Amino acid sequence: MRVLHISYGSPMIELSKALRVKGIQSTSCHFDEHPFKFKPDINLKLNVLPKQERHKKLEQFFQGSIPKYDIFHFHFGETFYPDKRDLEILQQAGKKMVVHHHGSDIRLQSVAKKNNPYVNIKPEWTEGKINNNLTTLSKYIDHAIVQDYELEEYILNAYKHVHVIPHAIDVAQYAPRYPQMNSASPLVVHAPSSRNMKGTEFILKAVDELKQSGLSFQFKLIEGLSNVEVKHLLAKSDIVIDQLRIGSSGFVTSEAMAYGKPVICYIRDDLVKKYPPEFPIVNANPTNIKSVLQNLITNPLKRNELGKKGRRYTKIYHDALVVAKKYIEIYNSL
């Protein structure tokens, strides 16, 4: 079984590695260089080429991939071409396909606002664009994958089969560093991929007010760094704040828990019960982030206990080798 993953993202790379360990010939490919310096198996670096050469290289890669791979696993709802003309070609060639949605590519504001007063939508992902994309993808693809139940609701009626599978984390590669209970000035970090989406403004305001009140702690806003540098700071931290708007946990949450860190993140009230009962997230939203953060900063024992719970949680629910089995089941059913 030969699987190609395109076209960008750290979760895609981690999943592909895990599939190889399980005996699948899996390859991850980025079309462009990424500012976080991820390391996929193949990087076409199309963004550094002139337009004409870019189109030529992509066409050559696509044509070469048809006989080389059995299954095409598309991430973020993207395929080889913006107009998705490749889907019909792959279907006619007898190739199997799955699509993996990760967030803004399917998050409809009209749906999200019903259960989430804090949510923001990326302006470039209009509802018209999302619906057109889903209509085209579902015409050729029956199986869609999302990582949580917040995303599931946006595509339940779009595909014949929708699978909810947690992020895959190679837990063994994350050496746990549990928060020390004798730290006089704990380090709080926040690594937003998009400030507007993550509610960064509320976090910065809470941090500023807590510092003005005399509370002793350090804060690091992680932006513009490579994936390796981000992981280094996550490992050093005592508290990680993921997001306050989306309503579900992201990849940063999973990585932070693998390092044994307590994580603050907004989980929608109606979705809390869908997570396993031992889910150790400290739930916070824009209205209460200051008090939630203060409580965690002033409670070193709680930080340590949550860190250990988070590490156990990732080993049970996010370990790459466990998660990879679920993908293989889907591949075998195509």
For the chain, give the mean pLDDT.
94
CA distances from 39 to 3, 30, 34, 161, 283 (A): 17, 9, 9, 31, 32
Same domain, 46 and 34: yes
Same domain, 38 and 104: yes
Phi/psi at 19 (5° precision): -65, -35
pTM: 0.91
Statement: residue 118 has pLDDT above 90: yes
Same domain, 153 and 13: yes
Whether 176 contacts 237, CB under 8 Å: no
Number of domains in the chain: 2
**Greatest distance between any 2 Cα atoms in the chain:** 66
Same domain, 40 and 56: yes
Local confidence band at 183 (pLDDT 50, 70, 90 cut-offs):
confident
**CATH number reported for the structural domain that contains residue 32 in this entry:** 3.40.50.2000
Q: What is the pLDDT averaged over residues 277-301?
A: 97
Local confidence band at 334 (pLDDT 50, 70, 90 cut-offs):
very high
Q: Residue type at 316?
A: I
Same domain, 147 and 51: yes
Q: With b meaning 16 or more CB within 10 Å and e meaning fewer, what string describes 28-65?
A: bbbbeebebebebeebbebeeeeeeebeeebeebbeeb
Local confidence band at 16 (pLDDT 50, 70, 90 cut-offs):
very high
**How many whole angstroms separate alpha carbon 151 and alpha carbon 161?**
14
Domain that holds residue 122: 2-168+319-333
**How many whole angstroms separate alpha carbon 61 and alpha carbon 214?**
58
Show the tokens assigned to 227. 């994936």
Local confidence band at 154 (pLDDT 50, 70, 90 cut-offs):
very high
Same domain, 120 and 196: no
Query: Which segments of the chain does DSSP mark as H helices, in order?
Result: 10-21, 51-68, 86-92, 109-115, 127-140, 149-155, 195-198, 200-212, 227-236, 251-258, 289-297, 300-317, 320-333
Q: Is cis: bond before 7, omega within 30 of 0?
A: yes
Same domain, 52 and 178: no
Same domain, 10 and 62: yes
Same domain, 269 and 323: no
122-136, 201-215, 285-299: least confident range: 122-136
